[in-house]
Amino acid sequence: MNESKKMIFFDIDGTLLDHDKNIPPSTKASIKELKANGHEVAIATGRSPFLFKDLLEELEIDSYVSMNGQYVVYKGEVIYTHPIPSEVLQSLTAFAVRSDQPILYVSEEHMRMNVAKHIRVDSSYGPLKIEMPEYDPHYYMNREIYQAIVFCTEQEQVLYEQEYKDILRFVRWDEFATDVLPLGGSKAAGIEHLINHLGINRKKVVAFGDHYNDLEMLQFVGHGVAMGNAQPEVKEVAKYITSDVDQDGIMRGLMQLNLISSAGMSAV
């Protein structure tokens, strides 16, 4: 990579997508200019690839770190995967069932629930404006699952953390939902695998994010940027803070880093 060029990772919800789940026009124009300037652009998200295919097509991006670092693709080629062991999923499922809490299994192609319907699932997924997961309690069997989601409160999560402290990590993203990853899994770990694959120094890497699953990522890269709408803890670890996603946060952050020009944005 040219010395002046950077690799930039963008979170999706609350970063690329505004509060209405749309891409702001200034964000789209900014990413187009980034690529025109020779920079590498990628996505780093908690979502599974099937949930952001349209976004990849609209922004013409073909590299991403998905499912919080468990499934990494560079220019359409899978370069790293880190599934949760099946025996761990079986144990986690039994624990969730005993606790009367729904669990969702996520592969690169689908996500399925172990219950047909639940108010906590509706509460967590409704605002995301995506299709609700289908019912298939055996989906995790004989299939690689890269992430699970347990629908529990923060207090209930403590019991899971105690039970699986040496096996899994739990990253909360909603009042009733927490991501479940293999121990050591994170967006930062996924980015590290990708940039090592490309021979890029992390000092030349930029990342934008807003939520708890972005903490390690913003600390790991050379230039971590928190959105104006980011959680306070995220802003604390970021090197830079830009404006709200609804206030041209991506554009303003990239201009702050001198990765795009104000002249190039004048037509937005």
Residue type, 95: F
Q: Which residues pair with 185 in a beta bridge?
A: none
- pLDDT tens-digit profile, the chain (268 residues): 445 799 999 999 999 999 999 999 999 999 999 999 999 999 999 999 999 999 999 999 999 999 999 999 999 999 999 999 999 999 999 999 999 899 999 999 999 998 877 777 777 676 666 677 889 999 999 899 999 999 999 999 999 999 999 999 998 888 888 999 999 899 999 999 999 999 999 999 999 999 999 999 999 999 999 999 999 999 999 999 999 999 999 999 999 999 998 644 443 4
CB 245 within 8 A of CB 17: yes
Residues 6+ apart with CB under 8 A from 253: 208, 225, 227, 240, 242, 243
What one-character DSSP code corresponds to residue 17? B
Verdict on whether the full-model pTM lies above 0.85: yes
CATH number of 7-81+185-256: 3.40.50.1000
Q: CA 189, CA 6: separation in Å to the nearest integer?
A: 18
Taking a C-beta distance cutoff of 8 angstroms, is the pair 46, 104 a contact?
no
| Residue of 11, 13, 179, 248 marked active site | 11
Can you tell me the distance from the alpha carbon of 9 to that of 65, in angstroms, rounded to the nearest whole number?
A: 9
Residue 232 CB partners (closer than 8 Å, separation 6+)? none
Active site residue 11: yes
Domain boundaries, the chain: 7-81+185-256, 86-182
Give the CATH class of 86-182: alpha beta
